[in-house]
């Protein structure tokens, strides 16, 4: 799935937006003078369908648009003349004064989009430029790519260039008030995939995308096509009682089996459910490398103690040696480390070999960076990495994404980076190998798969090129589609860099078109040639457990039956037959309004060509009701959205086919025919033929209400005369209800229930015709007079009961601090007011003051509480609390406050961690003050709640995030906008030494950190409590260390293992005891100083803190987790 269209890297912050067509109304005046270049027409092919992928060699052309009198243009937007590229019509669209921005807005537009057939789609790479007519090198040019379709028929740049630059006559973009616009457009032909059969064309099938799971699909296809790995997965022990959604091994076995034997694409939902992922996780794009590691770790763990234990290590695990070797003394330190994949630099490297050269590059430790070699002291040394052994399957992760410190953002590296079909890691006499390496193993590898990322840093699409049997034939696995590809497409076209496209009109301007390629290799999988036969082994049915074969074959058969059923659906009609028995069964249990839920009645699948009379014989056989005793009624949907039997079928209609009858009865053209089967019984309960119905006869249905039991039930139906009156049938109704014949009863007509209930008393003395009663109407009745108020009856009559049923809502209440557990349920009404709801909750909790209840709504998608609670009386009704977009939740979270909510809303509550000057444990305080208060007020409030080291101690408030201090709050700052949801607020005493800083003293940040050096990549992780420290001019590290040890009270033995480093922008530079610390910290201010800090490197022994539900995590921080 394409999450976001990629943007040129040098315009990461550019916004590519389709202009709103309603910004300008009416026809646009033409401008004199736009002169399009003559473009040679290309072969015309119709556009393919939606979701098509670019294919084959592109056709390209340049179009130049000369716009005269540019500064005098007075229209909002302007189109160029139409030009043709790749058989398609295009035009350039500009907003000379900007599309609601102070920039020129410019887009490429499909000129004939309004007349193209439904589902059209075309793919183009293009660049748009405003030519600088004084200095060509200052021309502003931006490029992108897009799949154009009905919804997005134009695409480009809302903020193309500042209007101030464009209209400045000295800048050279307007000469003689003329603007030159150039469009380079390259169109790729598209294949129609609607009719494409991957299995038939390639022998392989794809995987369905769940929303943003293309990254996972490309990895799963790569692992599946390593047969040794697939065989090991098949041999993991599972049982017939396992459920795929609860067992990763079984879900993966099932997925691999289907990839091997299915004819169509395979779903991955069972597998992601076995990971413990909800749908939200499936819509999060993660990182292939991270998923690969997590999945392999899980499988490695699940394989322990089984016949396939160690498979992951055998396939993917290699080892390298980190070494430091002294130059002038005989001392060498080495450490062996294992790896499952290698991260290779792309930036600054032209190919894989250059990356390996960089990986094993020797670093010299000299000068200030000398190595401390135990008894030899500080020494010049060489530091590096060499490989002890490589695994049979070598996974190379290419570092296409990196952090740009200048721009403070992640960027994607689209540079050209080559990788060979055959990779020789023994080259140059084994320069990558350590002295301990086994030189008898030939490290020659052949390329098995190329995983590709297409897009920008904030999203994109993943797919894979794989050659499953290592022949010359490559295949592209792109979610559901598998296509045959050549080696050029799999290798060279995935190197990245710029793509040059030849012009179709070389006589005009011979400058080649250049486009940044946003699709490039991101992960490579190589297989060692000497292990090829072992890894690319045969995997057949005998490798699959019998219970799995039986289960999956049964699934396949059921799927085939469904497919056949679906394929023949157009030949059949479903007839749903409701009877009195269904009404008795459902009314008062499953339904209360109308008569029946048609999805729960007997249905028949009947060929459309069958005469209806023959269908009646089917009914006779199935239900035991002879044909002569059957009478069928057609249902009709009324204008008030109720659904009732309308009239009996005529003999002429019953002579027709089922298909014809369905079309007559059903204007909605669905494949169903809904009927009511009327069956009459005599006094002895024997079947009798239905009575003849004349125009005057009306069929009515009756429901009985019991207010004491709060029960509504169906009691039967009667024919009445339209001229008759309800008085005439009272005895009959009493009989149906089992009442005495003279029991007084009251009648109500159930008219409708959407959007609100309408149930009105029926005048017993007026005729049915006068009361507008007709066939299919529902009459509810009850004993009368209704119960007295003192009889403890909640709903004394039919209308009040139906109103209750319509609005009742069971709500599950959860304590906000335990958001996963239901505490209690209450039956409420959707139209209950805010006050009604909190009163009921307070009553349940035996709380005297309902205003101390605070409620928080539920997010149906994340299954978490929403971040903001409901303000006092800010919603009218319960339903407003439960609605989340188009869904209605049945969960609310509650808190019991210590003061009434209206009071609290005038206050600001801050959660502050107070760190005592001498005690280890922090005290968590909830400080509550009026919103206009200042930080100074907060500190004064804290003083009243904590024990200070001395009565006149001064306090300060800090903002801490991810174990770094980001801010010291000024005491005059207002607290209203301080956020304690994401950051930790920390209060502490200001040490005396900080109050009297000398002229040359520095106040520096000191943070704890650990360093991971796996795969030659340094990653600094901060932890623990950060703090400030005063350092004096000329003070050595040894002196500073002594003060830090005293401050933190660390035992000598442990403190001796700590290392000290100066860190700037995350890079550690280790310090020696004799180093003068103040020379590193030249900045006097502390704001922004977290970029430079004194780091204390030691192991993190603090327990991990879990975030509570109310603390939202940013989605881009969310790691891949497999929970089961």
Determine the Cα–Cα distance for residues 1020 and 1009; give it in Å rounded to an integer. Answer: 6
- The whole-angstrom distance between residue 1023's C-alpha and the CA centroid of its chain comes to 29
Where do runs of H (alpha helix) occur along 457-589? Answer: 487-490, 532-535, 546-567, 580-586
Structure tokens at 782: 């009850």
What DSSP state is assigned to residue 690?
P
Nearest in space to 642 (alpha carbons), one of 720, 755, 761, 746: 755
Determine the Cα–Cα distance for residues 994 and 988; give it in Å rounded to an integer. Answer: 13
Paired with 929 in beta bridges are: 908
Paired with 403 in beta bridges are: 410
Nearest in space to 294 (alpha carbons), one of 318, 277, 270, 314: 277
Determine the Cα–Cα distance for residues 157 and 152; give it in Å rounded to an integer. Answer: 13
Structure tokens at 982: 């994401």
Paired with 647 in beta bridges are: 634
Number of other residues whose CB lies within 10 A of the CB of residue 1062: 20
Nearest in space to 463 (alpha carbons), one of 488, 486, 482, 487: 482
What DSSP state is assigned to residue 4?
S
3-state secondary structure 1036-1055: EHHHHHHHHHHHHCCCHHHH
The single residue listed with the structure tokens 């008219």 is 751
Cβ-based burial of 24 (10 A; exposed 0-12, middle 13-18, buried ≥19):
middle
Nearest in space to 52 (alpha carbons), one of 521, 484, 518, 481: 481
Contact present, 182 and 513 (Cβ < 8 Å): no
Name the active-site residue from 214, 326, 759, 780.
214
Cis peptide before 586 (omega within 30 of 0): no
Nearest in space to 58 (alpha carbons), one of 37, 26, 86: 86
Determine the Cα–Cα distance for residues 851 and 931; give it in Å rounded to an integer. Answer: 20
> At a CB cut-off of 8 Å and minimum separation 6, what does 523 contact?
288, 289, 292, 395, 396, 397, 398, 450, 451
Determine the Cα–Cα distance for residues 520 and 465; give it in Å rounded to an integer. Answer: 11
Q: Is 461 a catalytic residue?
A: yes
| Dmax (CA) of the chain | 120
Cis peptide before 827 (omega within 30 of 0): no
SS3 call for 188: strand
- Write the CA distances from 183 to 34, 84, 108, 230, 492, integer angstroms: 14, 12, 8, 49, 26
Pairing of strands 984-989, 907-915: parallel
Determine the Cα–Cα distance for residues 722 and 241; give it in Å rounded to an integer. Answer: 63
Q: Is 759 a catalytic residue?
A: no
Name the active-site residue from 225, 448, 453, 461.
461
Structure tokens at 101: 């921005």
Pairing of strands 342-345, 393-399: parallel
Determine the Cα–Cα distance for residues 777 and 969; give it in Å rounded to an integer. Answer: 72
Where do runs of H (alpha helix) occur along 225-351? Answer: 227-234, 248-261, 269-274, 279-282, 288-303, 311-316
The single residue listed with the structure tokens 């992960």 is 523
Determine the Cα–Cα distance for residues 171 and 138; give it in Å rounded to an integer. Answer: 9
> At a CB cut-off of 8 Å and minimum separation 6, what does 1052 contact?
1045
Cα 300–Cα 303–Cα 307 angle in degrees, nearest 5: 135
Structure tokens at 823: 């505490």
Cα 1025–Cα 1029–Cα 1034 angle in degrees, nearest 5: 145
Catalytic positions, written as ranges: 214, 461
């Amino acid at each position: 799935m394409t999450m976001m269209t990629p943007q040129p890297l040098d315009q990461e912050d550019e916004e590519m937006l389709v202009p709103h067509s309603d910004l300008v109304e009416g026809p646009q005046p033409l401008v004199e003078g736009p002169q399009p270049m003559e473009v040679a027409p290309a072969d015309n092919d119709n556009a393919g369908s939606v979701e098509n992928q670019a294919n084959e060699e592109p056709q390209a052309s340049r179009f130049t648009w000369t716009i005269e009198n540019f500064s005098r243009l007075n229209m909002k937007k302007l189109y160029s003349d139409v030009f043709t590229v790749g058989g398609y019509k295009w035009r350039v669209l500009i907003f000379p004064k900007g599309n609601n921005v102070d920039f020129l807005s410019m887009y490429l537009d499909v000129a004939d989009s309004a007349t193209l057939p439904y589902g059209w789609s075309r793919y183009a790479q293009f660049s748009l430029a405003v030519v600088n007519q004084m200095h060509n090198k200052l021309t502003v040019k931006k490029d992108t790519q897009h799949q154009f379709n009905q919804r997005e028929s134009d695409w480009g740049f809302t903020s193309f260039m500042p209007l101030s630059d464009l209209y400045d006559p000295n800048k050279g973009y307007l000469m003689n008030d003329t603007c030159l616009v150039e469009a380079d457009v390259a169109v790729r032909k598209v294949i129609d995939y609607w009719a494409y059969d991957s299995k038939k064309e390639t022998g392989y099938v794809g995987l369905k995308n769940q929303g943003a799971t293309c990254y996972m699909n490309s990895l799963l296809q790569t692992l599946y096509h390593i047969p040794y790995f697939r065989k090991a997965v098949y041999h993991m022990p599972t049982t017939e009682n396992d459920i795929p959604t609860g067992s990763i091994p079984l879900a993966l076995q099932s997925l691999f089996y289907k990839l091997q034997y299915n004819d169509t694409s395979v779903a991955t939902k069972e597998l992601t459910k076995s990971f413990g992922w909800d749908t939200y996780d499936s819509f999060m794009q993660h990182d292939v490398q991270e998923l690969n590691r997590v999945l392999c770790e899980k499988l490695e763990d699940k394989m322990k103690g089984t016949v396939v234990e160690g498979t992951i290590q055998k396939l993917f695990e290699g080892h390298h040696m980190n070494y430091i070797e002294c130059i002038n003394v005989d001392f060498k330190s080495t450490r062996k480390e294992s790896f499952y994949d290698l991260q290779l630099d792309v930036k600054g490297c032209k190919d894989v070999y250059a990356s390996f050269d960089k990986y094993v590059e020797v670093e010299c430790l000299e000068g200030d960076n000398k190595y401390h070699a135990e008894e030899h002291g500080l020494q010049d040394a060489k530091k590096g990495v060499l490989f002890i052994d490589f695994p049979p399957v070598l996974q190379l992760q290419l570092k296409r994404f990196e952090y740009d410190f200048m721009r403070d953002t992640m960027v994607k590296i689209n540079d050209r980076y080559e990788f060979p079909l055959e990779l020789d890691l023994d080259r140059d006499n084994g320069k990558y190998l350590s002295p301990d390496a086994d030189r008898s193993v030939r490290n020659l590898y052949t390329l098995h798969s190329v995983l590709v990322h297409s897009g920008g840093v904030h999203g994109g699409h993943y797919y894979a090129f794989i050659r499953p049997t290592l022949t010359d034939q490559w295949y592209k696995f792109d979610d559901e589609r598998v296509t045959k590809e050549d080696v050029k497409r799999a290798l060279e076209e995935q190197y990245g860099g710029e793509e040059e496209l030849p012009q179709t009109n070389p006589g005009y301007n011979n400058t080649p078109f250049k486009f940044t390629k946003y699709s490039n290799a991101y992960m490579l999988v190589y297989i060692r040639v000497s292990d090829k036969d072992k890894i690319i082994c045969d995997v057949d049915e005998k490798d699959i457990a019998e219970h799995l074969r039986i289960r999956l074959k049964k699934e396949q058969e059921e799927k085939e039956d469904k497919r056949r059923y679906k394929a023949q659906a157009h030949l059949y009609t479903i007839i749903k037959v409701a009877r009195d028995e269904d009404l008795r069964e459902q009314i008062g249990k499953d339904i209360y309004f109308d008569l029946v839920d048609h999805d729960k009645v007997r249905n028949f699948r009947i060929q459309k060509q069958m005469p209806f009379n023959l269908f009646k014989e089917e009914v006779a056989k199935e239900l035991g009701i002879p044909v002569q005793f059957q009478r069928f009624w057609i249902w009709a949907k009324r204008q008030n959205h109720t659904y009732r039997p309308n009239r009996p079928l005529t003999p002429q209609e019953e002579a027709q086919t089922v298909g014809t009858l369905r079309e007559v009865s059903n204007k909605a053209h669905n494949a169903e025919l809904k009927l009511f089967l009327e069956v009459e019984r005599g006094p002895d309960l024997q079947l009798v033929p239905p009575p003849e119905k004349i125009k005057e006869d009306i069929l009515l249905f009756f429901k009985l209400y019991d207010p004491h039991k709060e029960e509504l039930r169906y009691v039967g139906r009667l024919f009445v005369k339209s001229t008759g009156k309800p008085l005439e049938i009272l005895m009959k109704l009493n009989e149906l209800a089992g009442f005495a014949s003279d029991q007084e009863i009251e009648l109500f007509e159930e008219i409708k229930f959407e959007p609100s209930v309408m149930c009105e008393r029926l005048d017993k003395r007026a005729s049915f015709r006068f009361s507008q009663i007709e066939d299919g109407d529902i009459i509810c009745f009850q004993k009368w007079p209704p119960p007295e108020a003192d009889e403890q009856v909640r709903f004394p009559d039919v209308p009040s009961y139906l109103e209750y049923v319509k609005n009742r809502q069971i709500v599950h209440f959860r304590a906000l601090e335990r958001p996963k557990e239901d505490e209690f349920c209450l039956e409420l009404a959707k139209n209950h007011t805010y006050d009604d709801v909190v009163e009921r909750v307070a009553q349940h909790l035996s709380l005297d003051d309902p205003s101390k209840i605070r409620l928080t709504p539920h997010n149906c998608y994340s299954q978490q509480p929403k971040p903001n609670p409901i303000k006092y009386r800010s919603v009218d009704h319960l339903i407003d609390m439960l609605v989340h977009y188009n869904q209605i939740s049945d969960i609310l979270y509650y808190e019991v406050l210590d003061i009434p909510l209206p009071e609290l809303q005038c206050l600001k509550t801050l959660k502050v961690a107070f760190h005592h000057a001498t005690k280890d444990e922090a005290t968590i305080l909830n400080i509550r003050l009026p919103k206009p208060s200042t930080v100074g007020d907060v500190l004064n409030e804290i003083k009243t709640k904590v024990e200070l080291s001395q009565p006149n101690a001064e306090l300060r408030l800090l903002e801490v995030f991810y174990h770094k201090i980001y801010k010291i709050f000024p005491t005059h700052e207002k607290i209203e906008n301080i956020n304690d949801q994401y950051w930790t607020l920390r209060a502490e005493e200001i040490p005396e030494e900080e109050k009297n800083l000398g002229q040359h003293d520095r106040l520096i940040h000191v943070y704890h950190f650990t360093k991971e050096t796996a795969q030659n990549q340094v990653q600094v992780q901060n932890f623990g409590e950060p703090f400030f420290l005063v350092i004096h001019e000329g003070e050595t590290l040894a002196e500073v260390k002594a003060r830090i040890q005293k401050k933190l009270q660390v035992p000598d033995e442990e403190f001796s293992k700590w290392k000290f480093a100066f860190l700037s922008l995350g890079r550690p530079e280790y310090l020696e005891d004799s180093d003068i610390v103040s020379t590193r910290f030249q900045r006097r201010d502390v704001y922004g100083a977290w970029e430079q800090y004194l780091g204390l490197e030691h192991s993190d022994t603090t327990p991990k803190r879990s975030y509570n539900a109310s603390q939202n995590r940013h989605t881009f921080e969310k790691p891949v987790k497999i929970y089961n």
